[in-house]
Amino acid sequence: MKLAVAALLVGSAAAFAPVAFNPRQSSSLSAELLSKQTGISSLDPSVIASYASLGLPADKILAEYVWVDAEGGTRSKTRTLPAAKGESVDKLPKWNFDGSSTGQAPGDDSEVILRPVRIFRDPFRPRSDGVDNILVMCDCYTPAGDAIESNTRAVAESQFEGKEDEVCWFGLEQEFTLFNLDEVTPLGWPKGGMPSRPQGPYYCSVGPENNFGRQITESLYRACLYAGIEISGTNGEVMPGQQEYQVGPCVGIDAGDQLMMSRYILQRVCEDFQVYCTLHPKPIVDGDWNGAGMHTNVSTKAMREEGGLKDIKEAIYKLGAKHAEHIAVYGEGNELRLTGKFETASVDEFCYGVANRGASIRIGRDTEAEGKGYFEDRRPSSNADPYVVCGKIFDTITEDVEVPVIEPMNKEEA
């Protein structure tokens, strides 16, 4: 990658101050310098491309098995399989990994079993021979067949089981923040300082002075579409260096599978661009800057039918009755974000309103006007587990219980 292009990605030419060349310096020192500069790979792309251009046997595929680790991040490893195995999840073999190295098993009994649950096309290993290499979303079990503690998918699966007639749609809005490799300076920010302009010009922005990381989001967008993920849009977010994409609508547990695989793809894209990506809900605590969330849009079959607004409000009342329970599982560090400022409601209070982005739950103007549609839970943080969030919401709103009515905090028409 040329330095000029890399500088545009980073949004700061200062990151590429010239380094005096000393022919006596070791190649390892040069590699070390390059590896610390965001946007520059220490490996020669032309060399990588020469190997990537080599053809693969038509009867074999590369299958990248992806799973969620103990911290909620993703891990993966590759195996070679007969091409026919990639036709369906049922044909894929189970695999295993060393759980003692991921915090998911003790050292004296470290084998964790990977169970394939969803197949996606691999955008990082495309082929031109009509055969697809694949990404395989997996969940994790003990050799005895029990879900391990960090397998939140298994819990969500049980929450959705038997209620398929609800046909619950989820649309997940994943915000993320891009940093230089120092993990301190967001893209577009001066090193050791803050932007000279406050929030405002960066949201859905254009221009090199406003949008930082567009090429990363564009690359993610294409990679997700290629993979078969229902990515429905992207936009620049309110804080400079912050971006967002949306996944959905997806039905039930598939929302968790698709969002988690999209996070894996995001990290792989950032790896290629040599940019650090964080899902922390409040990456910049000082100053008047928005946090990052995973706003979750929800719609059951009944909510989409005539008179569905009544079902939406009943679901919201149920969520309000269990506000503390939901907050407890909506992401680490979320209390730093849910302050009642910067388009959030207070972590300690529950409220809802039409067109109110300062509420816990928002009902859109279109939904109100049509009397049916969906609602948006604005409380989940950007690092929230999508299996936990979707399963918890579904479990709560489908309970057969009576709860108190909550008065709305509606915004007046503009």
Give pLDDT tens digits for 383-412: 999 999 999 999 999 999 999 999 998 865
Mean pLDDT (whole number) for 362-369:
97
At residue 13 the predicted structure's pLDDT band, cuts being 50, 70 and 90, is: very low
The answer to whether the beta carbons of residues 262 and 245 sit under 8 Å apart is yes
d(CA 230, CA 210): 28
d(CA 395, CA 232): 25
CA distance 215 to 212: 8
* Separation of alpha carbons 235 and 214, rounded Å: 9
Element containing residue 43 per DSSP (H, E): none
The CATH number of 60-150, from 3.40.50.150, 3.40.1190.20, 3.10.20.70, 3.40.190.10, is 3.10.20.70
Average pLDDT, the chain: 90
Phi-psi region of 122 (alpha: psi -120 to 50; beta: other; left: phi over 0): beta
Residue 250 CB neighbours (<10 A)? 22
Q: Residue 331, SS3?
A: coil
Cα–Cα separations (whole angstroms), residue 46 to 1, 43, 50, 267, 274 = 10, 9, 6, 22, 16
Give the C-alpha distances (Å, rounded to integers) separating 3 from 7, 50, 226.
6, 21, 28
CATH number of the 164-397 domain? 3.30.590.10
pLDDT grade for 46, boundaries at 50, 70 and 90: confident
Beta bridge partners of 236: 243
CA distance 15 to 20: 15
pLDDT digit string, tens, across residues 262-282: 999 999 999 999 999 999 999
The mean pLDDT of 343-350, rounded to a whole number, is 95
Query: Are the beta carbons of 236 and 245 closer than 8 angstroms?
Result: no
State the virtual CA torsion across 314, 322, 167, 243 in degrees, nearest 10. Answer: 110
Q: Where are the domains of the chain?
A: 3-52, 60-150, 164-397
**Mean pLDDT in residue range 55-78:** 97
How is the chain split among helix, strand and coil, in percent rounded to 5?
35, 20, 45
Exposed, middle or buried, 199 (CB in 10 Å: 0-12/13-18/19+)?
middle
What local confidence, expressed as pLDDT, does residue 21 receive? Answer: 29
Banded model confidence at residue 304, pLDDT cuts 50, 70, 90: very high
Question: Torsions phi, psi of 314, nearest 5?
Answer: -65, -40
- What pLDDT, in 10s, does the model give residues 100-145? 999 999 998 999 999 999 999 999 999 999 999 999 999 999 999 9
Helix (H) or strand (E) holding 81: strand 74-82
pLDDT above 70 coverage of the chain, percent = 89
Confidence class for position 40, pLDDT limits 50, 70, 90: low
Cis peptide, bond prior to residue 23, ω within 30 of zero: no
Give the span between the Cα atoms of 295 and 384, in whole angstroms.
10
What is residue 382's predicted lDDT score, i.e. its pLDDT? 98
Confidence class for position 8, pLDDT limits 50, 70, 90: very low
